[in-house]
């Protein structure tokens, strides 16, 4: 187990190194990074000052090492616009994004898991076909457009819900639905295929042969095991929703990380954009590491596999 944890941690660190190297190189290979790091409209002498300030006059390997050092010590640079460290801004917005992501997760659970379960139990039946349509629409209707249509119907035409902003559950319901929509479809697909796989296994056949009632076989034996990959996906989804809900947060004026990223793009605030991307990557690598370790802890087959 310890070996497994060490190996996975090393992999996660390598992943983070490559991620940081990618971001570092993309910025430097596609043009002069000074034009990104200096505020728009800076004069030539300001550019020269920024070049020295950020150490861009040094050789690339040296620059990369100091870039890494800054990441490790949490110095991701200051946002031009807010004149504050990017990490402070990020963690200020994190609770808001988390609130929205949790609500969206809840919606994706409520739609995706029962629908996937019924689809698998009644495979190729009417419910399965209905589930397939839901899954198809979930992947084809862009969440941001769904958000706009929801605003149009429930705020503009019916006047039932507020168009945007943060407040009580009324403000939360539309953005959460628009954000959770896609993830509901992916949970539905995964629950269905995972259930189908479990239902095919020997121990389910045995449980049926023992004469257990169908509800017990499906609820107690099959569903519990089929849920493992589903919970994993839900965990990864939550982290993605926290970091990638850019357009939904813009549409609903939700003060989260996605909106912060949008402000960064819009105001050409490059340190802000770069910092958010790095932090998002780190969060996802971390959650994947945790999931891997928890998996191995639950299931010895995983940690003993090569």
Contact residues toward other proteins (CB under 8 A) are: 11, 14-16, 18-19, 22-23, 26-27, 30-31, 36, 123-124, 136-137, 139-142, 144-145, 148-149, 151-152, 155-157, 163, 193, 196-197, 199-200, 240, 243-244, 246-247, 250-251, 261-262, 264-266, 268, 270, 273-274, 276-277, 280-281, 284-285, 288
* Minimum CB distance to other proteins, residue 85 (Å): 19
Given a contact cutoff of 8 angstroms between Cβ atoms, the answer to whether 243 and 280 are in contact is yes
Given a contact cutoff of 8 angstroms between Cβ atoms, the answer to whether 273 and 264 are in contact is yes
* Minimum CB distance to other proteins, residue 201 (Å): 11
Pairwise CA distance, residues 69 & 278, whole Å: 14
CA distances from 24 to 48, 160, 269 (A): 20, 47, 16
* Minimum CB distance to other proteins, residue 46 (Å): 20
Helix axes 86-121, 169-199, angle to 10 degrees: 50
Which residue, 58 or 268, has its beta carbon nearer to other proteins?
268
* Minimum CB distance to other proteins, residue 192 (Å): 9
- Dihedral, 165, 168, 171, 177 alpha carbons, nearest 10: 130
SS3 category, 177: helix
Which residue, 62 or 265, has its beta carbon nearer to other proteins?
265
**What are the tokens at 221?**
């034996």
Which residue, 82 or 262, has its beta carbon nearer to other proteins?
262
Which residue, 152 or 298, has its beta carbon nearer to other proteins?
152
Which residue, 110 or 206, has its beta carbon nearer to other proteins?
206
What residues are paired with 85 via a beta bridge? 78
Given a contact cutoff of 8 angstroms between Cβ atoms, the answer to whether 99 and 172 are in contact is yes
Pairwise CA distance, residues 59 & 260, whole Å: 32
* Minimum CB distance to other proteins, residue 124 (Å): 7
Which residue, 110 or 205, has its beta carbon nearer to other proteins?
205
- Dihedral, 236, 241, 243, 248 alpha carbons, nearest 10: 160
**What are the tokens at 132?**
């397939």
* Minimum CB distance to other proteins, residue 275 (Å): 11
Which residue, 18 or 45, has its beta carbon nearer to other proteins?
18
* Minimum CB distance to other proteins, residue 190 (Å): 10
Pairwise CA distance, residues 91 & 96, whole Å: 10
């Amino acid at each position: 187990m310890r070996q497994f944890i060490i190996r996975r941690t090393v992999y996660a660190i390598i992943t983070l190194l490559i991620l940081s190297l990618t971001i570092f190189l993309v910025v430097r290979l596609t043009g002069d990074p000074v034009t990104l790091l200096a505020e728009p409209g800076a004069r030539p002498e300001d550019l020269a000052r920024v070049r020295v300030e950020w150490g861009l006059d040094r050789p690339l390997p040296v620059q990369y090492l100091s870039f890494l050092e800054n990441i490790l010590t949490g110095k991701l640079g200051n946002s031009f616009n807010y004149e504050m460290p990017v990490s402070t801004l990020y963690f200020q917005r994190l609770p808001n994004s988390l609130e929205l992501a949790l609500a969206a997760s809840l919606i994706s659970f409520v739609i995706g898991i029962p629908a996937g379960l019924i689809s698998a139990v009644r495979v190729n039946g009417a419910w399965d076909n209905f589930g397939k349509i839901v899954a198809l629409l979930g992947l084809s209707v862009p969440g941001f457009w769904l958000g706009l249509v929801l605003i149009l119907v429930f705020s503009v035409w019916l006047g039932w819900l507020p168009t945007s902003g943060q407040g009580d559950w009324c403000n939360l319901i539309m953005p959460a639905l628009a954000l959770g929509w896609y993830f509901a479809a992916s949970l539905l697909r995964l629950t269905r295929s995972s259930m189908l796989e479990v239902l095919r296994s020997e121990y389910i056949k045995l449980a049926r042969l023992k004469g257990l009632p169908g509800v017990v076989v499906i609820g107690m034996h099959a569903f519990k095991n089929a849920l493992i990959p589903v919970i994993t996906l839900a965990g990864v989804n939550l982290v993605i929703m926290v970091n990638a809900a850019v357009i939904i947060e813009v549409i609903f004026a939700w003060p989260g990380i996605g909106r912060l990223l949008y402000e960064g793009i819009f105001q050409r605030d490059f340190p802000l954009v770069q910092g958010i991307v790095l932090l998002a990557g780190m969060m996802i690598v971390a959650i994947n590491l945790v999931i891997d370790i928890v998996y191995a802890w639950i299931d010895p087959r995983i940690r003993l596999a090569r």
